[in-house]
Structure 1
Amino acid sequence: MKIISRINSLILLCLLAFQPLLAQTDFNSNWKFLLGDDSLASQPKYNDTKWRQLTLPHDWSIEHNFSATVPATTQGGALPAGIGWYRKTFLLPASNADKEVRIEFDGIYRDSEVWINGHYLGRRPNGYISFAYELSPYIRFGEKNVIAVRVDNSRQPNSRWYSGSGIYRNVRLVLSNKAAFDRNGIFVTADYKNAATTTMPTGVIQVRAGLHNHTGAAVTCQLQTKIYDAAGKLVADTISRNITLPDKGQATQATMMLIPNVKAWSVDDPHCYQVVSLLMKGLQILDSVVTVTGIRSCRFNSEKGFFLNEQPLKIKGVCMHHDLGALGAAVNMRAMERQLEILKAMGCNAIRTAHNPPAPELLDLCDKMGFLVMVEAFDMWKKKKNKFDYYSDFDAWHKEDLEDMVLRDRNHPSVFMWSIGNEIREQFDSTGITLAKELVAIVKAKDSTRPVTCALSEWNPAKNFIYQSHALDVIGLNYHHEVYEDFRKYYPGEIFLGSENMSAFATRGHYGLPSDSAYFWPAKSPQKIVENGNPDYTVSAYDQVSAYWGSTHETTWKIIRKHDYLSGLFVWSGFDFLGEPIPYPWPARSSYYGIIDLAGFPKDVYYMYQSEWTSKPVLHLFPHWNWQPGQLVDVWVYYNNADEVELFLNGTSLGVKHKGPDDLHLLWRVPFTAGTLKAVSRKNGQQVLVKEISTAGAPAAITLQADHQTIKADGRDLSYVTLRITDDKGHPVPDAANQIQFSIEGPGIIAGTDNGYQADTISLKSPSRQCWKGMALAIIQGTGKTGTIRLKASSTGIRPAIISIRAEK
């Protein structure tokens, strides 16, 4: 369930007419923070006047310098962790004394403990789970109250990727009447019946509401349910008969509603409805919840793959860790939206939240933007992967953590399946049978409408004990593309999903010649590092290098696209992420797996996927055209919606080529001559697209381009500014490595800088950044005030640039 603060104006007017009494407060501002430990900080009279004041969400690790000496080393992004404290003082009026109060945390990494007015509320070790505490018995209405939170991320390593540290997701304070809906107590199931089975497309919506009564006396109430479409039109309305809630009692009420001529939710048209649940006592509204839902049907077939609204759909997905590049783990809606926009333009239609529950805002965006989501629970069960990871908390916490995940996320139309784990080590012995059955049962008890999988790294069914539990609805295989065409032989009657694939490496803008030699890097060895790598810690951006357990991008995709029974895949990974910098050791500090680099700049293989996953015309020509005279250069072209491509060098044709049935790119081997390389794609003899790359001269100027020229003056919205170095003719300089100094004026700050280079160890908060392959990024965040923000970028010996961004209410 997601209680949303911005609801349709029609619904808002309806609710205000009855003066609803539930209040949800953004609780992110005016926190105090101390990096370090102090056992007295939980006490309300503790003096925190010298602590730093900040606004949540907050990740303290990303604020520091990368270092080879921190305990996390490359397993955690080479950024420090430790222990931190947060405190907030707040006042609730005496007029609210008849209300119940709770605080909701969307995620704290990790091992958090919380106090209210010195009273200990509890501990939550899992850093990715949303949870809440009841504050009512300890609140002093009309007086100051103090929340204190201790966060312990000191035991390292506890993660195979960058986790971040602190209260890195949103916090809310919720006031409600004592007779109200349970937290996460609304469960909306919506099924789509298309015109093939009914006279018109129909939506069947069932709303199950969990209720409680703490008033001290029995309460007779009614449950009213209203459903609005995306335009705010009321499409269904029903009210229950009297419901009697005994004191200290709970109840569940179910309502079934039909929506005629329904508009289905899909990845291409993610139409959402709003379900308004009103708990009423006469004309008084005791509680109100708005739930966003989408009406759609999802199913798998072992022979034909995946169907959305009874239409076949190949799952074209990517795996995503939770960090937001230079912002670290601190949740920001615009940063997540930008990532999804870039993926959507590539043709991606699905996200796997590797390997943990995401921020709820990510699912809100996926509902709105049209992404299917596999929500994953755990990276390990009882058997550890890191010295201090979740394994030691699994026995005590896995049931509550898994239930909270499902209860929070089960209403999202984007969520189409659950994963109970990733490459779990119990798959290799019989303990996997018992645990898999238990975890699937926990999920199904809270949501029986979605299939459950587990990402399996052991492909052989005879050796895989999680598979042998027969608890999984879908067989999720990580890698092992070599057995995919024989999947039905090994897993007769089972459903296939590539839950994690590729692990191909690339550094944007670096090209290793010749390009037609694919190889594993590192070789299969316990060290898992490359022995004969490049001295600058780069990997070729031609699709020619992968980890020994994976494949190049083209190798696996060619198999997946060929067979209907292969329902789809999730590429490892969508974006580069902090931590896990295989194949290199320090000073590499972020991954090489991404289709898109850490700064959000697409690598060349992005356009291979775009040419395969979208219907819009694509023509991508690479590499750059700055080489040594006479050097043989492999020129690649990705294209679609055309029959042929002709390549020209300085006006002279180098020939026409066509893709064969199994080709995903074209290749010319061209002796370098300075000038202009041009590709022309044609269909039925008619030109479709033209792309040119010219030899660049020396760096002469800076250009700046903002993805948003106007941002909201809310203190959270962002503008991503891309910097390019050009020569005196405006051509991008592909090897420019200028040191850039960013400065800012007006109501904005530089929230981070980056260049996408995996071995840049300068802090991602630094206003000074060296270009990588002629590019850099500055992230501008408003301060909450209106006005014009001016960002200047300068570098010795070349023309600077200034760009203006408006911050508006």
Structure 2
Amino acid sequence: MSVMSNRHHIVRRQIGLICSLMSLLTSPIFAQNNPRTILDFDKGWRFYLGDEPKAKDVAFNDSDWRKLPLPHDWSIEGQFSEQHLSTTQEGALPTGIGWYRKVFTVPISAKNKAIFIEFDGIYRNSEIWINGHLLGIRPYGYSSFRYELSKYLKFGSEKNTLAVRVDNAAQPNSRWYTGSGIYRNVRLVMTSPIAVNQWGTFVTTPTVSNQKATVSLQTSIRNATRKSQTIRIVSTILDTFGKAVATQTATSVQLKDTLTIVSQQFDVSNPLLWSVEKPYLYKIITQIYSQNQLVDSYETPLGIRYFHFDPATGFSLNGQPMKILGVCLHHDLGALGAAVNRRAMQRQLELLKAMGCNAIRTAHNPPAPEFLDLCDEMGFIIMDEAFDMWKKKKSKQDYGLSWDAWHKTDLEDMVRRDRNHPSIFIWSIGNEIREQFDSTGITITKELASIVKKLDTTRPVTSALTENIPDKNFIYRSGALDLLGFNYKHEAYADFPKTFPNQAVLASETGSSLQTRRHYDMPSDSVRMWGKGGPANFKDGNPDWTASAYDNEAAYWGSTHEQTWKVIKKLPHMAGLFVWTGFDYLGEPHPYPWPARSSYFGILDLAGFPKDVYYLYQSEWTNKPVLHIFPHWNWPKGKTVDVWAYYNQADEVELFLNDKSLGVRKKTGDDLHVMWRVTYEPGTLKAISRKGGKPVLTQTISTVGKPTKIQLIADRTTLKADGKDLAYITVNVLDDQGNLVPDANHLITFSIQGEGIIAGVDNGYQASMEPFKANYRKAYNGKCLAIIQTSEKARKIRVKATSEGLQGAVLELISR
């Protein structure tokens, strides 16, 4: 077993003590002097796709089931098919019922421990048994939860059987791709009978300045000894180098009940503040002593910062005004589906950070815990969202069916789990909730806001609203929202100080602009809204199910990227925005039905390749020099081609075709790009941006020749041999001069030598029917992607790409 350093706990043992599941029998990790043990429980599982009611029984024979590690999403392994569509929204991949089983042993030395199994997320309707005993059910597919195993376990050489049934058969239950299975991490946690409870600390910073910060810590302690106890608690704040900066000790603490809350307060001198530019992280180590023996040790992340939402001036962080420059993200990871992978999420955030994004809305559900860890570390502001619907359903089989029984538990668990993350600034209790249109919205909003406030009063509560007429919006009329979030309808933003006086406001969802990477329809200077007031349906679109990569197409309810950003950037009362969406995602393929199977809304496509509009945001949201011209320069001779340029840190851009000037363009008014209308002739386009007459940047685009070779570029060439690390390999089809061929669609075949596997392939095309789990992929508009995953053996990995008629390519990775 590998050791997992959980964000909430400190694990005091050496990695070398735990090598495999077999070592569980005799490993020193179970020694009495080790107060808390956390084990990845990701290996040794068997899986069966289908229903097998007897699989909960210990005696059931699962020897012919598939062996696999977790996290696992069985849907992403399937083939796209119209047979899998209950509506057009879920992605056309198989769902159904699946079973997981794991057999393990626990040494006798752990008999006096409290032993729990923790699941970060199972989609959906999970039922879990240990040794034939039902531990519980959990309908919501995005909740984290745990069960205690202690009283049902066998110790020593006797085997224990954990069985998990996952039921995602009832469709439709979502408006996007969910994945199916135990798609987030699982761990086994062992503690002493006296220990910090699950998600049992809550850290706040009541007062913060550059000179001093007051840090308050509440610790919930579980006493499972069934008798009163006297303990001592020592909590220490450590800086990033592990140096203690403050310590508090509570002595003679009486534990009489099952749970006891202990409060401690610290002063930190000259604190380093957490910000999006410098996300400095402290941590708090809480140690519990009983009869002078250490019985538990628990870690809590700490970011010291303060912020404010103001009705007139918007948002400020640590006293400095700033716009929230955010995107909405669904939880899928493209070709990996819903199966959580830390490196895959990190890559997404790296690409967004480079674009200038500083905020994420977790649309529309609680995210994986590791995602929030990354946001803490990388400096993102998070709107943590609980639900896409309340009691009134949006899909026939969705969470509305479980609302009455589960919404309180699910919301409480989200807040308890996530409230120590410094990246979280906003709690969202819902998205486009149907109860906003009738009086039930008042009652439910008050209830949900109250649930949050009982657990955390340090962050505002919002709900993403579609109705911006106050009298018609019952969620707003509840008076329970601290922050108003509005989706779309940017024309109304300027009037919000009058419409919603003394209310802090942000744009919780904007855009829904539609693009297919590197596909261009002309002319480009008229906006095309799909639906009301525009093309009525997909028959008015392109026969290849594409949307133009110029920023001039959007869903009827939304806007182009430029339309909304122009408004928000000049309105100080608008705290910021969350663009729909950062990446294309599986499902919801508006405006096209099948065979389109993923969205067109992303600033980056499903493979993570930037669309042209990425550089619009980079030119607006960063201080790095930007000059980006498009489209490509391979067209029929004499065709009229619109050439756009995004740029910053310059006064003007001059465009040349074959060294002949086509004129200088300057952004005027609130323009965000410039354009030339050019009669195509082969050759080279060159753009030069200038400031004060001096060149800033130059970009060239040339007519390319026939495709001749493959190029492989890895985002990282040195990887961890942990069985989880990834290299994202961009595959380019080039001409003999090394230029990307803009319409190349060659079938690329991949092969691997060494300790690695092909975890997924993609090309970003929204209507591609090729499977993600394969060793081949067609290039789309010159590019495709291969995702390589390491094994647990340190060795070189050799990746080879071939295609008929092209010179192949080889890339070497090192796994350490």
The two structures have a TM-score, normalised by structure 1, of: 0.97
What's the counterpart of residue 229 of structure 1? 239
SS in 1 for 2:587: coil
* Distance (whole Å) between structure 2 residues aligned to residue 297 and residue 528 of structure 1: 48
Counterpart check, 1:361 vs 2:370: yes
Closer, same or farther: CA 388–16 of 1 in aligned 2, 3 Å: closer
Equivalence map 1:665-680=2 (5 Å): 665-680=673-688
Amino acid at match of 1:281: S
CA contact (8 A) 2:11 2:38 kept: no
CA contact (8 A) 1:636 1:668 kept: yes
What's the counterpart of residue 170 of structure 1? 185
* Distance (whole Å) between structure 1 residues aligned to residue 309 and residue 737 of structure 2: 54
Closer, same or farther: CA 528–276 of 1 in aligned 2, 3 Å: farther
- In structure 2, which of residues 38, 58, 61 is the aligned counterpart of residue 24 of structure 1? 38
TM-aligned CA deviation for residue 191 of structure 1? 4.6
SS in 1 for 2:116: strand
Counterpart check, 1:3 vs 2:12: no
What's the counterpart of residue 248 of structure 2? 238
Equivalence map 1:533-548=2 (5 Å): 533-548=541-556
CA contact (8 A) 1:2 1:408 kept: no
* Distance (whole Å) between structure 1 residues aligned to residue 584 and residue 11 of structure 2: 32
What's the counterpart of residue 671 of structure 2? 663
- In structure 2, which of residues 212, 217, 222 is the aligned counterpart of residue 207 of structure 1? 217
Equivalence map 1:734-773=2 (5 Å): 734-773=742-781
TM-aligned CA deviation for residue 529 of structure 1? 3.7
* Distance (whole Å) between structure 1 residues aligned to residue 9 and residue 333 of structure 2: 23
CA contact (8 A) 1:72 1:80 kept: no
* Distance (whole Å) between structure 1 residues aligned to residue 639 and residue 209 of structure 2: 59
Amino acid at match of 1:679: A
* Distance (whole Å) between structure 2 residues aligned to residue 363 and residue 225 of structure 1: 23
What's the counterpart of residue 309 of structure 1? 318
* Distance (whole Å) between structure 1 residues aligned to residue 225 and residue 695 of structure 2: 74
- In structure 1, which of residues 415, 431, 436 is the aligned counterpart of residue 440 of structure 2? 431
Equivalence map 1:367-378=2 (5 Å): 367-378=376-387
- In structure 1, which of residues 295, 304, 311 is the aligned counterpart of residue 304 of structure 2? 295
Counterpart check, 1:644 vs 2:652: yes
* Distance (whole Å) between structure 2 residues aligned to residue 7 and residue 723 of structure 1: 43
Q: Deviations over 1:446-482 (max 9, x none)?
A: 1111100000011111100000000000110000111
SS in 1 for 2:265: strand
What's the counterpart of residue 120 of structure 1? 134
Closer, same or farther: CA 507–118 of 1 in aligned 2, 3 Å: same
Counterpart check, 1:654 vs 2:662: yes
TM-aligned CA deviation for residue 192 of structure 1? 5.6
- In structure 2, which of residues 513, 516, 525 is the aligned counterpart of residue 516 of structure 1? 525
* Distance (whole Å) between structure 2 residues aligned to residue 614 and residue 658 of structure 1: 19
What's the counterpart of residue 607 of structure 2? 599
Counterpart check, 1:408 vs 2:417: yes
* Distance (whole Å) between structure 2 residues aligned to residue 16 and residue 208 of structure 1: 28
Counterpart check, 1:286 vs 2:295: yes
TM-aligned CA deviation for residue 238 of structure 1? 1.5
What's the counterpart of residue 130 of structure 1? 144
Counterpart check, 1:629 vs 2:637: yes
Amino acid at match of 1:397: W
- In structure 2, which of residues 474, 483, 494 is the aligned counterpart of residue 485 of structure 1? 494
TM-aligned CA deviation for residue 591 of structure 1? 0.1
SS in 1 for 2:435: helix
Q: Deviations over 1:552-594 (max 9, x none)?
A: 0000000000011011000000000000000000000000000
Equivalence map 1:506-585=2 (5 Å): 506-523=515-532, 529-585=537-593
Amino acid at match of 2:221: L
SS in 1 for 2:335: helix
TM-aligned CA deviation for residue 334 of structure 1? 0.2
SS in 1 for 2:277: coil
What's the counterpart of residue 78 of structure 1? 92
TM-aligned CA deviation for residue 753 of structure 1? 0.3
SS in 2 for 1:364: helix
CA contact (8 A) 2:603 2:613 kept: yes
SS in 1 for 2:567: helix
* Distance (whole Å) between structure 1 residues aligned to residue 136 and residue 34 of structure 2: 31
- In structure 2, which of residues 204, 217, 236 is the aligned counterpart of residue 189 of structure 1? 204
CA contact (8 A) 2:464 2:485 kept: yes
Amino acid at match of 1:448: T
What's the counterpart of residue 106 of structure 1? 120
Amino acid at match of 1:217: K
Counterpart check, 1:796 vs 2:804: yes
TM-aligned CA deviation for residue 52 of structure 1? 0.5
Equivalence map 1:318-357=2 (5 Å): 318-357=327-366
- In structure 1, which of residues 51, 66, 88 is the aligned counterpart of residue 65 of structure 2? 51
TM-aligned CA deviation for residue 5 of structure 1? 6.0
SS in 2 for 1:76: coil
* Distance (whole Å) between structure 1 residues aligned to residue 741 and residue 529 of structure 2: 31
TM-aligned CA deviation for residue 3 of structure 1? 2.2
Amino acid at match of 1:140: K
Moved more, 680-689 or 410-419: 680-689
* Distance (whole Å) between structure 2 residues aligned to residue 71 and residue 316 of structure 1: 35
Q: Deviations over 1:205-224 (max 9, x none)?
A: 11100112121332111110
* Distance (whole Å) between structure 2 residues aligned to residue 665 and residue 107 of structure 1: 43
SS in 1 for 2:54: coil
CA contact (8 A) 1:191 1:296 kept: no
TM-aligned CA deviation for residue 656 of structure 1? 1.5
* Distance (whole Å) between structure 2 residues aligned to residue 589 and residue 134 of structure 1: 40
Equivalence map 1:458-473=2 (5 Å): 458-473=467-482
Closer, same or farther: CA 524–160 of 1 in aligned 2, 3 Å: farther
CA contact (8 A) 1:320 1:353 kept: yes
Amino acid at match of 1:474: L
Runs of 5+ consecutive residues of structure 1 not aligned to the other structure = none
TM-aligned CA deviation for residue 16 of structure 1? 13
CA contact (8 A) 2:31 2:109 kept: no
SS in 2 for 1:778: strand
CA contact (8 A) 1:680 1:690 kept: yes
* Distance (whole Å) between structure 1 residues aligned to residue 86 and residue 132 of structure 2: 32
* Distance (whole Å) between structure 1 residues aligned to residue 794 and residue 153 of structure 2: 36
Amino acid at match of 2:165: R
Amino acid at match of 1:133: Y
* Distance (whole Å) between structure 2 residues aligned to residue 624 and residue 337 of structure 1: 30
Q: Deviations over 1:290-326 (max 9, x none)?
A: 1111000011000000011111110000000000000
Amino acid at match of 2:237: I
* Distance (whole Å) between structure 2 residues aligned to residue 613 and residue 19 of structure 1: 52
Runs of 5+ consecutive residues of structure 2 not aligned to the other structure = 1-5, 18-28
Q: Deviations over 1:659-716 (max 9, x none)?
A: 1131100101111111110111111222111111010011011000000101100000
* Distance (whole Å) between structure 1 residues aligned to residue 605 and residue 145 of structure 2: 32
CA contact (8 A) 1:73 1:79 kept: no
Q: Deviations over 1:118-169 (max 9, x none)?
A: 0011100000000011111111121211110000000011010000000000
TM-aligned CA deviation for residue 72 of structure 1? 3.6
* Distance (whole Å) between structure 2 residues aligned to residue 280 and residue 695 of structure 1: 72
SS in 1 for 2:539: coil
The two structures have a TM-score, normalised by structure 2, of: 0.96
